[in-house]
Amino acid sequence: MNAAIAISDQDNVATALEALEPGRVLDIAGSRIVVGAPIPRGHKIALRSIRAGEAVIKYGSPIGTASADIAPGMHVHTHNVESTRGRGDLGR
């Protein structure tokens, strides 16, 4: 069983299938990733460096925009990803 899986080769994140501790080394879709922060089971880990403003890609499609620079191995979730859809709070 893989500890994390990426769906599409375009994805810049993978989903952790178990809780990942910092320092653990993973081989995900041919990339060597050093876990940089605790990643709860079911949460996402960055496979590459993602710059603020860049699309976060899962299933081969954008799932939102990075709101901060994200280094490989870091936790990717609501603290550093913004949805681009249905955002009435942003004004028009």
Partner 1 sequence: MAADFLGYKRPDGRIGVRNHVLVVPTVICAAVVAERIANAVPNGAALPHLAGCGQLGPDRRVTHETLAAYCGHPNVGAVLVVALGCEQVIAQHLADAARKAGKAAHVIAIQGEGGTLRTTERGIEIARQMAAELESQRRESCDLSSLILCVKCGGSDYTSGLAANPALGRVADRLVDAGGAAVLGEIAEIMGAEHLLAARAAAPEPAAQLLRVVSRVEAEAIALGLDIRGTQPSPGNIRGGLTTIEEKSLGATHKGGEHTPLTDVVGYSAPVTKRGLTVMDTPGLDVEAVTGMVGGGAQVVVFTTGLGTPTGNPIAPVIKITGNAQTGQSMADNLDLDVSGILDGRETLDGAADRLLAEVIEVCSGKATATERLGHREFAIHRRNPTF
Nearest alpha-carbon partner for 64 in 26, 3, 13: 13
Which residues, 58 to 77, sit near partner 1 by CB under 8 A? Answer: 58-59, 61-64, 76-77
CA atoms within 13 A on the CB side of 17: 9
Instruction: Give 1's contacts (C-beta < 8 A, 6+ positions apart).
Output: 17
Exactly one of 9, 30, 51, 86 binds partner 1 (CB under 8 A); that residue is 86
Q: Minimal distance in Å, beta carbon 36 to partner 1?
A: 17
Interface stretch with partner 1, choices 10-18, 19-27, 29-37, 46-54 (CB under 8 A): 10-18
11 vs 84: CA distance, rounded Å: 18
Binding site for partner 1 (CB under 8 A): 1, 5, 7, 15-17, 40-44, 56, 58-59, 61-64, 76-78, 81-90, 92
